A and B are shown apart, each in its own frame.
Chain A
Amino acid sequence: EPEVTQTPSHQVTQMGQEVILRCVPISNHLYFYWYRQILGQKVEFLVSFYNNEISEKSEIFDDQFSVERPDGSNFTLKIRSTKLEDSAMYFCASSVGGPGNNEQFFGPGTRLTVL
């Protein structure tokens, strides 16, 4: 069964450093998303991406965040200068369709620890 994959599973970084989290969505999916989950809290939407551009972003997704689909298979989330409060699980998701046809499949997540 096709699945969303994410690398690395765990990333440890120093405050102020740049990190890139990588995702490979399911191959025939067209809509891509990043969510994050701070330990013990609910999953929060960060950004949605379709047709090589951002569809929507949350207040969390400030200028320090960016997304890219560098090729036909990868979808990345970059945090330019990490802060302690960026420590969280980051989930990538993808779906075949967008609004109204929107079963999103989630990857296993990347645990980001900012020291």
Chain B
Amino acid sequence: GESVGLHLPTLSVQEGDNSIINCAYSNSASDYFIWYKQESGKGPQFIIDIRSNMDKRQGQRVTVLLNKTVKHLSLQIAATQPGDSAVYFCAETSNTGKLIFGQGTTLQVKP
């Protein structure tokens, strides 16, 4: 079936620390994964994506890791800032392009 999930509903970190948000997916045929950030009252905002032929992809302060063996995806945010406070969703795309979202992890950044 289709299922994308996150391990923790809430993650609280100190400003300046690194954050790691995890996601498990169940469909071994999934080949494209995306992380979205959703701030209060706004729509999901694309952060970074990764295809199944890659293990790691880096962006500005963010890194996504993909472990296909255990069907695990993670988002690492370096030097977390107050502006990073939001709900983070992992999502996978099907072969029709629809996004299947996980439940979301709320990241709280303490000053």
- With A42-B102, A102-B32 as known contacts, state yes or no: A48 contacts B96, CB within 8 Å: yes
Chain A proximity of B40: nearest CB distance (Å): 11
CB-contact partner of A104 in B38, B89, B96, B99, under 8 A:
B99
Chain A residue contacts of B30, Cβ below 8 A: none
How many residues of chain B are within 8 Å of chain A by beta carbon? 25
Residue of B nearest to A35 (CB): B99
B60 at interface, CB cutoff 8 A: no
Cβ–Cβ contact A107 & B46, under 8 A:
no
**Contact A108 to B98, CB < 8 A, known contacts A100-B32, A102-B93:** no
Alpha-carbon distance A109/B95, docked complex (angstroms): 25
Choose from B45, B95, B98, B103 the contact partner of A42 (Cβ within 8 Å): B103
Contact size range, A: 20 to 34
Of residues 63 through 105 on chain A, the ones whose CB sits less than 8 Å from some CB of chain B are 91, 93, 95, 98-100, 102-105
Interface string of B36-59 (1 = CB under 8 A from A): 101001111110010000000000
Are B97 and A98 in contact, CB atoms less than 8 angstroms apart? yes
A43/B89 in contact, CB under 8 A: yes
Contact residues, B75-108 vs A (CB, 8 A): 89, 91, 93-104
Q: A55-B97, A56-B98, A106-B43 are in contact. List 9 more A-B contacts (CB 8 A).
A: A42-B102, A43-B99, A45-B100, A48-B96, A56-B97, A93-B99, A102-B97, A103-B34, A103-B46
User: Chain B residues in contact with chain A, CB under 8 A?
Assistant: 32, 34, 36, 38, 41-46, 49, 89, 91, 93-104
Binding site for B on A (CB under 8 A): 4, 31, 33, 35, 41-45, 48, 55-56, 58, 91, 93, 95, 98-100, 102-109
